[in-house]
Amino acid sequence: MITSLLVANRGEIACRIFRTCRELGIRTVAVHSDADENALHARVADTTVRLPGAAPTETYLRGDLIVKAAVASGADAVHPGYGFLSENADFARAVIDAGLVWIGPPPEAIEAMASKTRAKQLMGIPSLDRDRVTESDLPVLVKAAAGGGGRGMRIVRRLADLDGALEGARAEAASAFGDGEVFVESYVEGGRHVEVQVLADTHGTVWALGTRDCSLQRRHQKVIEEAPAPGLSSELRDELHALAVRAARAVDYVGAGTVEFLVSSAGSAHFLEMNTRLQVEHPVTEAVFGLDLVAGQIRVAEGHALESDPPRARGHAVEARLYAEDPSADWAPQTGTLHRLTVPDDVRLDTGYGDGDGIGVHYDPMLAKVIAHAPTRAEAVRRLSGALERATIHGPVTNRDLLVRSLRHKEFTGAGMDTGFYDRHLAELTEPAPDPYAPLAAALADAQTRVSRFGGYRNLPAQPQLKRYATAGEEQEVRYRHTRAGLEADGVRVVRATSGLVVLEVDGVQRKFEVTRYGDQVYVGATALTALPRFPDPTTQHAPGTLLAPMPGTVVKIADGLAPGAAVQAGQPLLWLEAMKMQHKITAPVTGTLTALHAACGAQVEVGALLAVVEVSQEDQ
C-alpha cells in the first residue's frame, strides 16, 4: 500500500497528481529546482526536496538526485508525470532498484516504445533512410526518437533543408531529453492527429478508453484536444482501439499509456508512437469516462485488478492549453508575473501557477489547461470558448484570444480540422481586435484614483486631459474632461467611473468595463494595455537595424562566419536563442552590414537586450 509518493516533475502535472494523492490519503513529496523554490507545486506538497540548479539537465533530468530525494524523504513510490524522465527506462529501473514503487509501465516496455524508431520496428513499420531521402519522398518529418511535446521535430519540404533540419532537431532533442537521436518519416499532409488512451493492469486486462483528437497544434505541440475524436467511422474507431490494445499487449504494458496515429483524409491510420506515460490531455478522457486516471495508475501499481470492461463514455470534452506566448510573433514565449488567473466555475482548471507567481525562461510556457464537458460536442465547445473569454488573465501575453477564435472557427466547429489548421488560419486568428473603448475606460478609472479630496473639478474652464496607451502593438490617445457633473468624454456618456469599474453608454447601449492596474500594466476586461508617458522618452528610440532580444533566454548558436563587417539580408538567420525548452531563430531585421555583434554562445540575455546592429544599406533607406 502506497502511503507517500514523490512526483518527479514540476508545475501543472505535479499539482494535478498531488490532488489525487490528497483524495487517496497519500502523503506528497515535491522536488524543485532553485528557479522553482516558490512554485505552486512546491508550496502545496507535504514535503519538498531541493534539486540544486535551474536548467532541466541539472535538476528534473537528474534521475540519481530524484531517487536520493525519494529515499531521503521517506517516499515509497515515484510518479514521473509527463516529460522529463517519464519515459526513461533507466530512471524507472533506478526507482525500482531503490526499493520504491514505480508508477508506470515496466522498464522493458518503456525501452520497447520510448524510442520511436524501435517502436516502429516492433509494429512492423519501416522508417525512411535519412541518407537516401529523395525529392519523391517529400515532404518528410524529422523527429526525435525520444521524448515528445513537439520538441525535436521539423517538417522538411525541400531536400536542401534536410541537413539543417536534422541538425536543429538533434540539438533540440538533446537539450530537452538528453538524447539527440532523430529519424525521418513521411509527413501526412492534411492528416488528423488521433490517439487512443489505454490503461492496463498486471492481470492481463487492457482498457481502450476511447479516442482523442489533437489536430490543432503549433510547432507539433498540441493546443486543443477533445474526446471522443469527432467524425470517425465505427470501423476506423474499432481499428484504432484494436491497434492500441495490440501495442500494449506486445510489450506487456502496465499502467496508463497512449497510442498515437495520423489519420489521412482518406481515413487510413498511420501509427506514430506509443507514449508510455500520462498525457497532458488526459483530463478529456477522465471527463468523458468519469474516472481518475492518476488514481487508476496508482491502484494498478499497487497490484489491483481492473474491471473486465471499462466504464461507458458519456458526452464530449474539450481541453485548451493556455500558454504564456504570443502567437502573432512566431509563438514567442513570454515571461513575467502572473498577477491573476481565474476561470468560471463550470469548467475545470489544471494549473501549476498561483496569483503572483513568476513565469521564467527555464521551462515550458504552459500556464494551465482549461477543460469543459457537456452532453454534446457543440455544447462543450461553446462552454469552453465562453469560459476562456470570461477568464481573468492578468500577466504576460497569452494565447487566450487565439484559443477562443480557434474554438469558434467554422472549420473547428464543423470538425473539419487537421494538423495544418494554424498553417492556414494563423493570420486571421491573430488579427488584432482591441476594444476601441478600453483605453478610455482605463483613463477614466485612472482619473478616479488621482482625484484630490476636493474633487477633480476646479473653478476653471474644463481642460481636456490626455492619456496614452499601447495595445496590440499600437499607441492610442484618449481625452476626457473633469466637469461639475463628473467625467465627460466625446461620443459617449460616462454613466459611472470608479477606480475598478467604468460604465459607458454608446448609442444607447451601456457597457461595463472592469479595470485593474499593476504599475503601468492595465487590464480592461480581456484587453491588456500599457500606460505610456505623455511625452515619449527619446533615449528609448532605436535605429531600424537594431536587433533586440525578443525574449529572455540563452544564446545557443551564432550563424557560421558571422562577424562585424559581414553583409546580411533581411530575414537571414543570425543566431538562435533557447527559451522555455524551444529554440528560436533570430533573423536580421534589415538588409545591410553587420556593424556590431554583442551576443556570444552560452550567454544569458534578458528581453530587450542588444544582440546586434545592422547598418541599413543605402539603397534600402
List 62, 151, 212, 277, catalytic entry = 277
Residue-wise pLDDT for 62-73, tens only, equals: 999 999 999 999
**Could you give the dihedral angle defined by the CA atoms of residues 552, 558, 559 and 560, in that order, rounded to the nearest 10 degrees?**
180
Backbone dihedral region for residue 299 (phi beyond 0: left; psi -120 to 50: alpha; all else: beta): alpha
How many residues can be counted in the chain?
A: 621
Q: Which one-letter DSSP state was computed for residue 619?
A: G
Return the minimum-mean-pLDDT range out of 98-112, 346-360, 555-569.
555-569
Mean pLDDT computed over 496-510: 96
pLDDT at 67: 98
pLDDT band at 214 (very low <50, low <70, confident <90, very high): very high
Positive or negative CA dihedral for 498, 478, 329, 584?
negative
Rounded Cα–Cα distance for residues 23 and 292 (Å)? 11
pLDDT at 535: 60
Q: What is the DSSP string of 352-401?
A: S--TTEEE-SSS--EEEEEEEEESSHHHHHHHHHHHHHH-EEESS--SHH
Rounded Cα–Cα distance for residues 42 and 36 (Å)? 7
Q: Is 559 helix (H, G, I), strand (E, B) or coil?
A: coil
- For the chain, what is the largest distance between any 2 Cα atoms, rounded to a whole number of angstroms? 87
Distances (CA, A) of 218 to 214, 223, 415, 494: 11, 7, 18, 42
Dig out the grid coordinates for 292 from the structure: 481518475
Are the beta carbons of 315 and 288 closer than 8 angstroms?
A: yes
Residue 154 a catalytic site member:
no
Mean pLDDT computed over 489-515: 96
Using a 10 angstrom Cβ sphere, with 0-12 exposed, 13-18 middle and 19 or more buried, the burial of residue 398 is buried
- pLDDT above 70 covers what percent of the chain? 94
Rounded Cα–Cα distance for residues 43 and 8 (Å)? 15
Q: How far is CA 175 from the centre of its chain?
A: 18
pLDDT at 580: 65
- pLDDT above 90 covers what percent of the chain? 68
Does residue 456 have a pLDDT over 60? no
Positive or negative CA dihedral for 196, 199, 200, 205?
negative
pLDDT band at 618 (very low <50, low <70, confident <90, very high): low
Helices and strands (DSSP H and E) totals, the chain: 15, 38
598: nearest Cα among 590, 535, 608: 608
More confident residue, 596 or 421: 421
